[in-house]
């Protein structure tokens, strides 16, 4: 059950903590899976506040927060990872606070927080596994999918986008010039992907799972890698380990939280790349739907609409 209610204001921040007034936060399909109990993480009996990312303004800074970091009251920042951003104010560790440049607006910064970081983690893994071969991006019309395509273009990699419908392909194609977009609405889509890529893709990047996973493994080249970062189709995947073994393929799960294991220098470089992506591909962040803070149920529904038309954002800004 999802309920809207008043809660106590955050306490004073402890050392190396920051209080942020959150103005916008993304609504992700995985948020709905969490609320419905599909995510293998128990929800306390007293309940919990959803949300792990967002953008807002620093209100208080606890002892020990390094002034050199630029984290100070009034500073506009992204939060990731933070617990409970579907609240007006949150206490977050200083390491989860990322200052936002003046030329990146709140709606764009909000979309970068998890979706951009997810995309850059996936792209690093994809390039390492591809050996220079083509990449297949499924759910290519989603925020992460669009970011993956933009990152592939920034890095000179060939990518093909796959969407679930002809309508979705018609929406996406004009915003990704030079990239082939294939619809899986009709039989024969796998052959179209191979033709568009010029060969069997070396890597597929997929958040759908379910029945799509074995189809993607069949499509991939021998030695290919399927990177998965979600389960929009909650059904089990019927994957043949015999085929996986004989074809020496790899199936690997990744998520944005794995990014935290990167070095501070790597994380700083990644964030700089994502802000540069926002400048080079503003169309990736221009189309979104905003819902009032007390309309989270409809926001969750909108996050599942097909074809996707940009991000879903929950705003508590007056």
CA-based nearest residue to 64, from 17, 11, 10, 12: 17
Q: Which residues contact 110 (CB under 8 A, 6 or more apart)?
A: 24, 25, 26, 53, 54, 55, 78, 311, 313
Phi, psi torsion values for 23, nearest 5 degrees: -105, -35
Mean pLDDT of the chain, nearest integer: 92
Rounded distance, CA 14 to CA 65, Å?
A: 10
pLDDT tens digits for 197-239?
A: 999 999 999 999 999 999 999 999 999 999 999 888 888 999 9
What does the block give as tokens for 252? 């690997």
**What are the tens digits of pLDDT across the range 229-240?**
988 888 899 999
State pTM to two decimals. Answer: 0.86
Residue 183 in contact with residue 169, Cβ under 8 Å? yes
The 8-class DSSP code of residue 203 comes to E
Phi first, then psi: give them for residue 85, nearest 5 degrees: -75, -5
pLDDT over threshold 90, residue 85: yes
The total of other beta-carbon atoms located within 10 Å of residue 54's CB is 30
Pairing type for strands 17-26 and 54-61 reads: antiparallel
User: How far, rounded to the nearest angstrom, does the alpha carbon of residue 29 sit from its chain's CA centroid?
Assistant: 10
Phi, psi of 177 (to 5 degrees): -60, 140
Mind listing the pLDDT tens digit for each residue in 17-54? 999 999 999 998 778 777 877 777 777 778 889 999 99
Q: Give 196's strand partners.
A: none
pLDDT band at 92 (very low <50, low <70, confident <90, very high): very high
For residue range 96-124, list pLDDT tens digits in order. Answer: 999 999 999 999 999 998 899 999 999 99
Q: Cα 220 from chain centroid?
A: 23
């Amino acid at each position: 059950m999802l309920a809207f209610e008043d809660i106590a204001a955050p306490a004073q921040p402890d050392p190396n903590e920051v209080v942020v007034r959150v103005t916008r936060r993304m609504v992700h399909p995985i948020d709905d899976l969490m609320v419905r109990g599909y995510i293998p993480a128990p929800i306390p009996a007293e309940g919990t506040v959803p949300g792990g990312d967002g953008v807002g303004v620093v209100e208080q800074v606890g002892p020990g927060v390094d002034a050199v970091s630029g984290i100070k009251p009034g500073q506009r920042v992204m939060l990731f990872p933070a617990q409970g951003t579907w609240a007006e104010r949150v206490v977050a560790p200083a390491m989860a606070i990322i200052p936002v440049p003046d030329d990146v607006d709140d709606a764009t910064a909000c979309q970068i927080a998890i979706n951009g970081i997810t995309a850059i983690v996936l792209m690093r893994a994809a390039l390492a596994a591809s050996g220079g071969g083509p990449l297949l991006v499924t759910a290519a019309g989603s925020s992460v999918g669009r970011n993956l395509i933009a990152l592939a273009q920034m890095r000179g990699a060939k990518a093909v986008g796959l969407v679930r419908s002809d309508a979705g392909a018609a929406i996406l194609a004009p915003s990704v010039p030079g990239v082939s977009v294939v619809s899986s609405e009709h039989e024969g889509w796998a052959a179209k992907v191979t033709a568009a890529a010029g060969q069997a893709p070396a890597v597929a990047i997929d958040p759908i799972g379910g029945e799509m996973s074995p189809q993607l493994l069949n499509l991939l080249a021998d030695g290919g890698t399927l990177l998965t970062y979600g389960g929009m189709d909650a059904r089990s995947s019927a994957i043949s380990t015999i085929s996986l073994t004989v074809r020496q393929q790899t199936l690997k799960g990744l998520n944005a939280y794995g990014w935290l294991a990167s070095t501070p220098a790597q994380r700083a470089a990644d964030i700089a790349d994502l802000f540069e992506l926002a400048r080079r591909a503003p169309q990736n962040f221009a189309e979104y739907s905003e819902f009032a803070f007390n309309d989270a149920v409809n926001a969750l529904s909108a996050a599942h609409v097909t074809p996707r038309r940009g991000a879903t954002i929950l705003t508590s800004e007056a």
